[in-house]
Amino acid sequence: MRALRMVGRLDEKDARILKLLQEDARVTAQDLAEWVHLSPSQCARRRQRLEEEGYILRYRAVVDAARAGATVEAFVAIVMAAHSRENARDFVATCNRTAEIVSVWTLTGQTDYMLRVFCRDLSDLNRMVQDVLLAHPSVARVESQIVMERLKDNTPITVR
């Protein structure tokens, strides 16, 4: 009998279920059962456990940004002028209020924050950079990089 490789409490069947759910979150327990070689009820129980234990954070639809009217995607690097908890909280709150900003990361190195933004067009991106980001009192520098083409996007996380 082959030994199962464990990650915490995850075995190879759990890893396979997570991979398949990342590719298509609407996959049925019956389809999972065929791919993982378990019964549908076992797959449903495993899926529920993966959700309850926090391995699966949420489910969402992937929307075509351009079809939804957001034709410009950009990454925006932010360098803060002053660092304090209050400035950080206020800046993150500003990001959360700004619909065009879809992701925010803190980074090591010279850049403090990296933002992923989707805008209707270049003038919309310019307005957001000028009126929201540069207008923030703690922001010293903003550098935008416009995405030309997405070659690999949000592929499944490998569970080891």
Please list the rounded mean pLDDT of every run of 10 residues in the chain (160 residues): 52 94 95 96 96 94 94 98 94 98 96 98 98 97 97 87
pLDDT at 7: 45
| Unique residue bearing structure tokens 């992701």 | 103
> What are the sequence ranges of the domains in the chain?
1-62, 72-146
> 105: which 2 tokens?
């990361």
pTM over 0.75: yes
pLDDT at 4: 40
pLDDT at 136: 96
**CATH number of 1-62: 3.10.200.10, 3.40.50.300, 2.40.10.220, 1.10.10.10?**
1.10.10.10
Nearest to 26 by CA among 61, 56, 64, 54: 61
d(CA 142, CA 89): 18
Do the domains 72-146 and 1-62 match in fold? no
pLDDT at 33: 96
pLDDT at 6: 42
pLDDT at 127: 98
d(CA 83, CA 59): 35
CATH topology for 72-146 is Alpha-Beta Plaits (3.30.70)
pLDDT at 9: 77
pLDDT at 8: 57
Order across the sheet with 113-119: list the strands. 101-106, 113-119, 72-80, 139-146
Radius of gyration of the chain (CA): 21
Yes or no: say if 138 and 4 are a contact pair by the CB < 8 Å rule.
no
